[in-house]
Amino acid sequence: MRDKFLRWGIVVVVVVWAISLLLKTYYWIPILLTLIYALGIYNCFQTKHAILRNFPVIGYFRYFFESISPEMQQYFIERETDGKPFPRNQRSAVYRRAKNISDTVPFGTQLEVNQRKYEGIKHSIYAQSPKEELPRVMIGGDACTQKYDASLFNISAMSFGSLSDRAQMALNRGAKKGRFFHNTGEGGISPYHLEGGDLCWQIGTGYFGSRDEEGKFSPEIFTKNASLPNVKLIEIKLSQGAKPGHGGMLPGAKNTPEIAAIRHVTPGVTIISPPSHSAFSDAAGLLRFVQQLRELSGGKPVGFKLCIGDTKEFEDICVQMNVLKIYPDFITIDGAEGGTGAAPPEFSDGVGMPLEPALIFVNRTLTLFNVRDKVRIIASGKVLTSLDILRAIAMGADMCNNARGFMFALGCIQALRCNTNNCPTGVATQDKMLIKGLDVTDKSERVYHFHKNTLHTCNELIAAAGRNSYEEVDATMFMRGDEFEHLADLYFPDTLGNFQEFKSKY
């Protein structure tokens, strides 16, 4: 292709120039062709892209279609039940609830209900009337003097830097109106988190917002921020489900001077938090750090977030709870399916325990060590729908956090460009031009409505199951496709097996 381009390209350019000169018009056509031919010559001799070297000029179409492949997948290929990490039908439900319009669907389910992966709730013929009051959960143990009455469903950790200023403002205003908390993420407390909504301040391994000049934890700076009335809880981030064992990552394109000033780092460079904390190095140190933060904050609830990996390490934390008599007020369990703005694919795809087995393990382990009644469990990791929330509670959670659902409420279209600073909806970017498209007043209302309508559907589901309260939600409410297969085996025995049995007799 390269040789043909060089040989025939010059012929076409000469012929077009000759025709244009004879006609004494349309000079823009040969000029354009000359520029394209010059670009093709450059393509032939550059060494970075083999496609362009072998297919001058037309090779650019490959890169163009690759750049819009997520949109092509969504608009022309994806079915209602397709799409990763969230299918279209789930995203559509969030959009409708956020807009406070009907979330009903016509004609019946599109799911394969006879498949093993199907999950559903066992309804009762003695269904209850759903309650209007949205559920709440009290957080705070005996050592906590400022207990917090939390919503069952809250905004999970997303830092300013990962999300835009307007996105954070809309989230916080929505949290204020709906009386649920907004997790700051490990990037620290920004001015855009202070719109009146309750905050869960997350302390990551980089100690952003509570670090000294050397990047170490500073009790003095921490106390100053922890005393803010908006801060209701403090969460120590040990690991994140989408990249456990890997520090948080802020691409340099998103690290603006404003963000760098909040985090006390150098602007314009990619910031990777350390993989572990410098303030402690073992289970006993972690619990003493919990106690220290609780004292420095004036008795506010303090807990930690982690994705379960080596189960022995969590068991050791439980042992030390009883030895030291120090108990976190809550533990946030993040599943390996959790989201992130930027992570190496091997970490997102191959590290960490999924949420469901992690919740079961943590719940049983805390019970085994007789500390379950002292600690609240928060589930985080792809908890998007009302069914997801109830499933997490059935597996042992007391309440749930979600990030990507609230991003959808802000207008996120799952463009999968969070790590490029080119988010087309202005949610996960620091590009001022793109951010202007996000209206804070409108999106804050959508955040509020998404939260309210999701929990209202939770109330409807437990009422349909004949339960009166969330304390009655357990695994017996749920059914799975493998149960149907077992029933089918009972009522429709294997024909071949019967034939073999008949043959052996005769």
Which of the residue ranges 64-78, 220-234, 419-433 has the most confident prediction, judged by mean pLDDT? Answer: 220-234
Alpha helices in 24-137 (DSSP H): 28-45, 50-54, 60-67, 69-72, 88-98
The mean predicted confidence, pLDDT, of the chain is 88
Q: If you count them, how many residues does the chain have?
A: 506
Which residues lie closer than 8 Å to 11 by C-beta, 6 or more apart? none
Distances in whole angstroms, Cα of residue 15 to Cα of each of 12, 20, 26, 30, 36:
5, 9, 13, 9, 15
pLDDT value at position 506?
55
- 13 C-beta neighbours (distance < 10 Å), count: 16
The residue ranking higher by pLDDT, 300 or 262, is 300
Distances in whole angstroms, Cα of residue 38 to Cα of each of 10, 21, 33, 34, 43:
10, 20, 9, 6, 9
Mean pLDDT across 310-328: 96
Where is average pLDDT lowest: 149-158, 187-196, 245-254?
Answer: 245-254
Which of the residue ranges 43-52, 229-238, 406-415 has the most confident prediction, judged by mean pLDDT? Answer: 229-238
Cα separation of 310 and 287, whole Å?
18
The identity of residue 328, as a single letter, is P
C-beta separation of 443 from 85 below 8 A: no
Provide the β-strand partners of residue 183.
200
Closest by CA to 196, choosing from 144, 232, 157, is 232
DSSP 331: E
Interval 353-370: pLDDT, tens: 999 999 999 999 999 999
Residue 77's pLDDT band (boundaries 50, 70, 90)?
A: confident
pTM summary value: 0.84
> 35 is written with which tokens?
């520029």
The identity of residue 141, as a single letter, is G
Whether pLDDT at 172 is above 90: yes
Please compute Rg for the chain using Cα positions: 28
Cα separation of 237 and 226, whole Å?
16
Whether pLDDT at 239 is above 60: yes
C-beta separation of 13 from 30 below 8 A: yes
Interval 11-48: pLDDT, tens: 888 998 899 888 888 889 989 999 998 998 988 888 88
The residue ranking higher by pLDDT, 114 or 7, is 7
Cα dihedral value 254, 259, 264, 268, nearest 10: 30
Distances in whole angstroms, Cα of residue 441 to Cα of each of 170, 171, 173, 196:
7, 10, 8, 14
